[in-house]
Amino acid sequence: MLDYFLVADRRYARFPALLAHTGLVHAFSTRPADVSARADTNAPRRAEARAQMARDLRLTPESLHHCAQVHQPRIERVRSDQPAAAHAGCDALWTTDRGVGLMVFSADCPLILVHDPRRGAVGVCHSSWRCTIAGMTRLLVDALVREGGCNPPDLVAGIGPSAGPCCYEVKDDVRIAAGALPDADSFFPRVGDRMHFDLWSANAAQLQQAGVPASNIETAGVCTMCGGDAFYSFRREKAGCGHFGLLAALS
């Protein structure tokens, strides 16, 4: 489930279950905002959209860090004394410093937020099918525990809008690549003669395997392909479609 809210005429979405954690600021952008960091002629307009999103969440645009996203499970820690940056070769960011904005982008891939309200830590990741299969979400929690001093039972998490198990058809190459995931069969429901990949369950399972209690995990349950047009969908709109973003910070 998601809670939608407006700042001026700009609509955002957030996880209702995470609102109780007052040390966390987070939101997903919605259409028509296109916030990705692609380098093309529209890059300045999208940079302004990211800056506007930061201001709307009472963060400074100068605090924004984002992942360049290459579908590989590389994770970086961000500190408040680092200047705002694009993190190359990276699909996940985390911090224990307040006021540092972390962003990831998507058009069908789940964006995932992990927060430790006790220790004061937040992480975000882009869990594309490749990242999911590589165990990105679990690795992010592991980084928070190992380097951030977090305790898994304290963590709360949200799994964002993405192509859902209702629509996300994949071929055998994805199923074969996912062979190493625990309980892999359960993430590939058959729909008629087709095979779908349930990215929501696969990422929820990784969070639980890393020690996050199931009751602390909220899944938005919004399919970007069939669940309305608030969020961009590459599969629905094809090349050239925009990207929505998840922005999270410790306040």
Contact set for Zn ion, span 138-177 (CB under 5 A): 164, 166-167
Using DSSP, state whether 180 is helix, strand or coil: helix
| CB of 186 vs Zn ion, minimal distance in Å | 18
**Per-residue x/- mask for Zn ion, residues 12 to 51, rule CB under 5 A?**
----------------------------------------
Under the criterion CB under 5 A, does residue 225 sit at the interface with Zn ion? yes
Nearer to Zn ion, 148 or 164 (CB): 164
> What letter represents residue 223's amino acid?
C
**Which of 6, 26, 15, 24 has the alpha carbon at shortest distance from 160?**
15
Q: Which of 223, 230, 246, 250 binds Zn ion (CB under 5 A)?
A: 223
- Work out how close the CB of 168 gets to Zn ion at its nearest, in angstroms, rounded to a whole number: 7
Give residues with Cβ within 8 angstroms of 35, minimum separation 6.
Answer: 29, 46, 49, 50, 53, 103, 105, 242, 243, 244, 245
- 95/162 with CB nearer Zn ion: 162
Beta-carbon contacts of residue 198 (< 8 Å; ≥ 6 apart): 164, 165, 168, 186, 187, 188, 189
Binding region for Zn ion (CB under 5 A): 164, 166-167, 223, 225-226
